[in-house]
Amino acid sequence: MNKTFDRSLSIGMVALCAVFIFESTKMLKGSFGSTIGPGMLPMVLAIVLSLLSLINFYQTFRVKNSDEQKEKLQYKRFFILIGIATLYCLLLEPLGYVISTFLFLFLAFQIMEKGKILNSIIISGVISFGIYYLYVVVMKGTLPGFPEWLGF
């Protein structure tokens, strides 16, 4: 853990989240036949990310200094995750939210920790279906549905 990096990143993330929250309030309300506006999801995610950043900032003061060796940065995993995030963005419309999110999460979990395939499948499925259900069914929002060729 690099305390200086973590503190700087936390402050930067809170500032970036403040911009996202401010800008999401400017988005049109209730467009695309939705009862909630398109700015709701970015605002909620920005609030959650800023809270997590503040927790990370607080944790840097609680951890005692250690003389352990620095962890080796894992650039390969980082660039693979950037690649699958880009692929996720490209496949979101053609495959729909549930399938593309499931695939993204499953691959990300496997990149971060190989093995535990069943756990990755279960967690990815619960998250992708759960968010889709909450956002589309409960809050009456809109997300890309299933592809037409699946017959849904």
Q: Residue 133, CB half-sphere, CA atoms under 13 Å: how many? A: 6
> Do residues 150 and 135 touch, judged by C-beta distance below 8 A?
no
What distance in Å separates the CA atoms of residue 126 and residue 148, rounded to the nearest whole number?
A: 22
Q: Average pLDDT over the chain, rounded to whole?
A: 83
Q: Which residues contact 2 (CB under 8 A, 6 or more apart)?
A: 70
Degrees, nearest 5: CA angle 50-63-79: 55
Residue 69 has pLDDT above 60, yes or no: no
pLDDT value of residue 107:
94
Report the percentage of the chain scoring pLDDT > 90.
35
DSSP 37: -
The residue written with tokens 């620095």 in the block is 70
The residue written with tokens 């940065």 in the block is 73
Least Cα distance to 88 among 98, 78, 77 occurs for: 98
pLDDT in tens, 118-127: 999 999 999 9
Q: Which residues contact 83 (CB under 8 A, 6 or more apart)?
A: none
Q: Mean pLDDT across the stretch 25-44? A: 68
pLDDT in tens, 51-60: 999 999 998 8
Residue 29 pLDDT class (50, 70, 90 cuts): low
Does the pTM exceed 0.85? Answer: no
Helix axes 117-132, 97-112, angle to 10 degrees: 150
